[in-house]
Amino acid sequence: MKAFCSWSGGKDSCLALRRAIKSGYETTHLLTMFDETGERSRSHAVSLEVMRAQAESLGLELIMPIASWKDYQQVFIEELVKLKSQNVEAAIFGDIDLQAHRDWEEKVCAAAQIEAVLPLWNENRLDLVNEFLAEGFRSVVICVNEEYLPKDFCGRVFDEQFIRDLPTGVDACGENGEFHTFVFDGKLFKNPVPYKIDEIYHHSPVFPSGNEASFYYAKLVL
């Protein structure tokens, strides 16, 4: 079955992609939503050039629609309809156990008559981290929520030592929004993405709910 992957560039979507391919899905596209500037990914604030380099190394076509939070759902569904017209039948998502995320994904996929596939759903979070590392994937932590982690965790390689250093109560997958990652090498990659960290900066985005949170971001450049 022909599929695309809803793509943040991070470890969970990468492991979901890996599992989907191993299960026989013919994955042809990555779909990453970008902010209103078209310069940074909506989810993790990764630059367009870095996301393109990652997709190129994976050998997959990157779709990069631009959306505000207000029209995010509408734009997402429009892209799904386009993919459906290209005979794409399934959407791969990397969510693990957040039911509200799954409900939204199934809703937007249903609107485009595409099947929502969640290869990691309801699995043990630490087991998934161990599988990701055992598969040989390498990633860097590009965002940390300062409510949970201090600035010096941002920019670190995501590995066994990083997990051991996490404070009590912080999920090893970061599934509660504690941190986000960018995968730069592994079995699916033709070559490592040659990123550099230009700076670590602070930003407090406002989410659709109206809530504001404070994050440190690693600005990746090539």
Return the pLDDT at 209.
64
Q: For the chain, first and last CA: distance in Å? A: 34
Q: Over 80: is that where the pLDDT of 206 sits?
A: no
pTM, to two decimals: 0.95
Domain identity same for 97 and 162: no
Q: Which comes out higher in pLDDT, residue 175 or 197?
A: 197
Q: Over 90: is that where the pLDDT of 156 sits?
A: yes
Q: Over 70: is that where the pLDDT of 207 sits?
A: no
Return the pLDDT at 150.
96
**DSSP letter string, 8-76:** -SSHHHHHHHHHHHHTT-EEEEEE--B-TTSSBBTTT--BHHHHHHHHHHHT-EEE--B--TTTHHHHH
Last residue of some domain: 59, 87, 117? 117
Last residue of some domain: 66, 84, 117? 117
* Average pLDDT of span 68-96: 97
Beta bridge partners of 41: 34
What's the CATH number where 213 sits? 3.90.1490.10
- Write down the mean pLDDT value for the chain: 95
Q: Of the ranges 13-17, 41-45, 113-117, 210-214, which one carries the lowest mean pLDDT score?
A: 210-214
Return the pLDDT at 205.
72
Structure tokens at 111: 């609107």
Provide the pLDDT confidence category of residue 22 given band limits of 50, 70 and 90.
very high
* Average pLDDT of span 194-213: 83
* Average pLDDT of span 184-210: 89
Q: Look at residue 131 and tell me if it is in a domain.
A: no
Domain identity same for 22 and 70: yes
Domain identity same for 74 and 18: yes
Domain identity same for 111 and 160: no
Q: Residue 39 sits in which domain range? A: 2-117
What's the CATH number where 109 sits? 3.40.50.620
Domain identity same for 7 and 107: yes
* % the chain with pLDDT above 90: 92
pLDDT tens-place string over residues 95-148: 999 999 999 999 999 999 999 999 999 999 999 999 999 999 999 999 999 999
State the total domains in the chain: 2
Q: Over 90: is that where the pLDDT of 212 sits?
A: no
Domain identity same for 142 and 111: no
CB atoms within 10 A of CB 182: 25
Provide the pLDDT confidence category of residue 175 given band limits of 50, 70 and 90.
confident
